[in-house]
Amino acid sequence: MPLSIFLAAALAACAQKLPVDEGRLVIALPGAPVSVDPRVATDAYGEQLLQMTHASLVRRDAAGNPVPDLAERWESPDPLTHVFHLRTGVRFHDGRPLTSADARYTFEWILDPANRSPHRALYRHVAEIGTPDPRTVVFRLSEPFAPFLSTMVRGIVPAGSPARGYTPPAGAGPYRIDDVSPDGEAVLSAFDGYYAGPPAIRAVTVKFVPDSNVRFLELKAGSVNFALNGVDPDLLPAAGASGRLAVEEAPGGNVTYLGFNLRDRVLSDARVRRAIAAAIDRESIVRALWKGRADLAESILPPGSWAADAGIPPARFDPARARRLLDEAGYPDPDGDGPLPRLRLTYKTSQNELRRRVAAAIQEQLRQIGITLEIQSLEWGTFFSDVKRGNFQIYSLTWVGIADPDIFHHAFHSASAPPDGANRGGYSEPEVDRLTEAARRETSREKRREMYLRVQRILARDLPVFPLWVGRNVLVRDRRLTGFAITPDENYAPVAAMRILPAAAASAGAGAPR
Amino acid sequence: MRRYVLRRVLHAVPVAFGVVTVVFLLIHMLPGDPVEIMLGESAVPAQREELRRELHLDRPVLAQYGEFLSGLPRGDLGTSFRSREPVLREIGRRFPATLLLAATSVGVAVLVAVPLGVLAAMRKGRAADYLSGVASMVSLSIPNFCLGPLLVLLFSVQLSLFPVGGYGTARHLVLPAATLGTGMAALLTRMVRASLLEEIRKEYVTAAFARGLTGRAAVLRHALRNALVPVVAVLGLSFGAVLAGSVITETIFSWPGIGRLLVQAIDARDYPLVQGCVLVVALCTVAVNLATDLLCARLDPRIRYE
């Protein structure tokens, strides 16, 4: 590396002060937001940035329950009407006070076809938005839609805000966006007029760092001091061993699963699907590849969700049973211990390194029961297109950001085949159709929960998909940063509650690494 | 010469046309639907159709191609599907960063390679020659995705000399330029050495020695100039490789350039943006090749503008 050495010698520079010493929180995100306007942003990075800057009518707690944000309370006098009462004294970043007109404007803007918001379909049940007084917003729906409250987690912007590409509209969140450059970084500063009081950390930079090794190196160097799920499991021990960094983990909410194509002659037999499930040793994969940082899942609903069924018996690793099931299904072993397989199947996955290694582990485990698995690791656009078109036998994906159990209608109702939903495997079960339809219209939380518990039992029996695990949320941060509560949905709003400890207090051992 | 330049510029038109056509066909043949990627799975069919109509994706591919071509003379590269901004503005925001990175790495590579190559040629078979040979082989053998993190580990994490990534100051430029330029510097060093050794054997150099010139004067004043002609030609040809290498380097160093933009555009199946990026890169490569041809002619009068 002659050039490198030459350059280093030519450009000697002194060690610089770290951002944390200057009171600055530097967050690394794995990608840049496509949009910084809550009315159009659909990408995860855009939404995570906006969670710090734009307040919504309601927020979600760790179990997915709506809790007050800009609306201090709400009621539903009938299944078609939702009334929100706004807080008093809320101001936007530009100083304007929040009124019901702003909330109405935000959602009417989304619903206006001319604005082409990708969120429009989410609010298709909204027939009318009324503002009887400046503190009250009334949504009237065209039909009962139980998940409605969970769709109200959408940043409110001041009435009349134009949509201007990469220039964010004002919000009412704890931080304001001072500057954002595409593919570069976003610079945020504390908003003193925030209704819940100004945040303690005054300056935040959000850096967009696509390379996972580099994110880790930035943390090591101190130029980044906060990364949520930004470090590969392999590198976490090294991060924990560093004196300056702390590693924290908490339950996650994104369920990874195997999807089966039920239109396939072989996989349409539930015994084959059960055999595959029994042949996969999830625990050893989690231990070896995830370094233990994932919890086994028995449903595609995050385990912390209010509608999750904790009573589903876990799928047990039992290769003998898997072989028996294959025998019963008519796929006997042709040559005992010989090389000939009972079955050949293909498994599609993305090019993500961890997913490829998981695929290889599953391939080996299925080989033990006589199934030869051909792995196809495809570029994302091609892979997802194949999955949606039903061009697969088995695929693996992760459900991200499930906010409401209505996902069961989206993923398993017989009318939800792509492009109308995500029932990609062609699952059809009248009982599931009936229950997911009824639960949509049911306003009683308790009754809805009962219905979803039954749906989950049926899915555990039929196995149209095999839930694998939920990755734990892992935060790597500077030891001096405290106060961030990790939520299953990787929400960045708790950044507002963070503080920077004085250097001496941190060295006394705040935040033990795990 | 003016006629030559004009003719070469006109030659660029079919090249650009060919590149754009091939890219247009390839990206439309790729599986994956921009509308589905943009709207996600929660969208209703009517919304998809609406967006498809709006992006003109409901028209036959040939009509879309014609539409794209007809915009080109006006400098209209279309509108990005993803950001809804004009493609030219998107590229304009990222291109200066890539140009700065590419020009710096090529410039530094030349500054390092020419003295090293001359030294190796003049000290052929001695320690300096072997050292530069080994250093070149090592540098050429390390791929950018490996060299980049290694440089970061040494100069940013251990020595805290340069920032790990980002864009803005001269110090941000050092490590990405070193990553991108190292392989090229190594290649050029070997080229300069080989080319110079060939020149030194020629009669005019022997004659220069016979006239009493010192070895240094004969080599630097006479042989080097001629030795540089093939080096400059390679330099022009490898500029395309530098732009291609910038895709990886920009990702490693979070550098907001056109390489990263192109990868994101392909992932999102943002057809207009992909076409725009490729067109700009192709035109750049054509322009650099023209510039190097002119430079070669300047260096060696035997090369005629024909």
Which range is least confidently modeled, A147-156, A325-334, B69-78, B89-98? B69-78
Q: How confident is the model at residue A67, as a pLDDT? A: 92
Mean pLDDT, rounded, of chain A? 89
Q: Mean pLDDT over residues B90-113, rounded? A: 91
B193 has a chain A CB within 8 A of its CB: no
Chain A residues 21-60 with a CB less than 8 Å from chain B: 34-35, 42
To probe the interface with A, which of B27, B36, B37, B41 has the most A CB atoms within 10 Å?
Answer: B41
Q: What integer pLDDT is reported at residue B76 of this predicted model?
A: 87
Contact (CB<8Å) B50/A113? yes
Of the partner residues B41, B151, B162, the one whose CB lies closest to the CB of residue A13: B162
Question: Are A1 and B138 inside 8 Å of each other by CB?
Answer: yes
Distance CA A100, CA A123 (A): 18
> Are the beta carbons of A221 and B164 separated by less than 8 Å?
yes
Contact A420 B151 (CB under 8 A): no
Write down the pLDDT at residue A513: 40
A135 reaches B (C-beta below 8 A): no
Contact between B174 and A15 using a beta-carbon 8 Å cutoff: no
Q: Give me the half-sphere count of Cα atoms (radius 13 Å) on the Cβ side of residue A79.
A: 13
Q: Contact at 8 Å (CB) between A231 and A217?
A: no
**DSSP per position, B256-288:** -SHHHHHHHHHHTT-HHHHHHHHHHHHHHHHHH
Among A residues 474-503, those touching chain B with beta carbons less than 8 Å apart: none
CB-closest option in B31, B33, B152 to A217: B152
For the stretch A56-112, pLDDT in tens is: 999 988 777 889 999 999 999 998 999 999 999 999 999 999 999 999 999 999 999
Cβ contact, residue pair B139, A1, below 8 Å: yes
- pLDDT of the residue at A507: 55
Q: Which positions ≥6 away from A224 have C-beta within 8 Å?
A: A26, A27, A28, A207, A209, A215, A218, B164
Measured between CB atoms, does A284 come within 8 Å of chain B? Answer: no
pLDDT in tens, A251-306: 998 999 999 999 999 999 999 999 999 999 999 999 999 989 999 999 999 888 88
Long-range contacts of B3-7 (CB under 8 A, 24+ apart): B3/B305, B4/B305, B4/B306, B5/B290, B5/B294
Question: Distance between terminal CA atoms of chain B?
Answer: 9
**Strand A136-141, strand A126-133: pairing:** antiparallel
Higher confidence at residue A74 or residue B128? Answer: A74
Q: What's the gap in Å between the CA of B31 and the closest CA on chain A?
A: 5
Q: What's the pLDDT score for residue B40?
A: 65
Q: Which residue of B has its CA nearest to A220?
A: B157
Say whether A477 sits in a helix, a strand or coil. strand
| Tens digits of residue pLDDT in A411-429 | 999 998 887 788 999 999 9
Helix, strand, coil % over all residues of chain A, rounded to 5: 30, 25, 45
State yes or no: pLDDT of A13 exceeds 50.
Answer: no
Nearest to A4 among B39, B182, B251 (CB): B182
Minimal-distance CA residue of chain B relative to A164? B85
- Give helix A2-10 / helix B127-141 axis angle, nearest 10°: 100
CA distance A1 to chain B (A): 5
Q: Give me the amino acid identity at A476.
A: V
Rg (CA), chain A: 25
- The 8-class DSSP code of residue A267 comes to T
Q: What is the DSSP string of B192-236?
A: HHHHHHHHHTSHHHHHHHHTT--HHHIIIIIIHHHHHHHHHHHHH
Check whether A347 has a pLDDT greater than 60: yes
Q: Please report the residues numbered 135 through 164 in chain B whose beta carbons come closer than 8 angstroms to any beta carbon of chain A.
A: 135-136, 138-139, 142, 147-149, 151-153, 155-157, 159-164
Interface residue B260 vs chain A (CB under 8 A): yes
pLDDT digit string (tens) for B279-296? Answer: 888 888 888 888 888 888
Distance CA A4, CA A7 (A): 5
Residue from A5, A6, A7 whose CB has the most chain B CBs within 10 Å, to mutate: A7
Q: What is the ipTM of this complex?
A: 0.75
Which residues are CB-neighbours of A297 under 8 A, at least 6 positions away? A255, A256, A257, A303, A467, A468, A469, A470
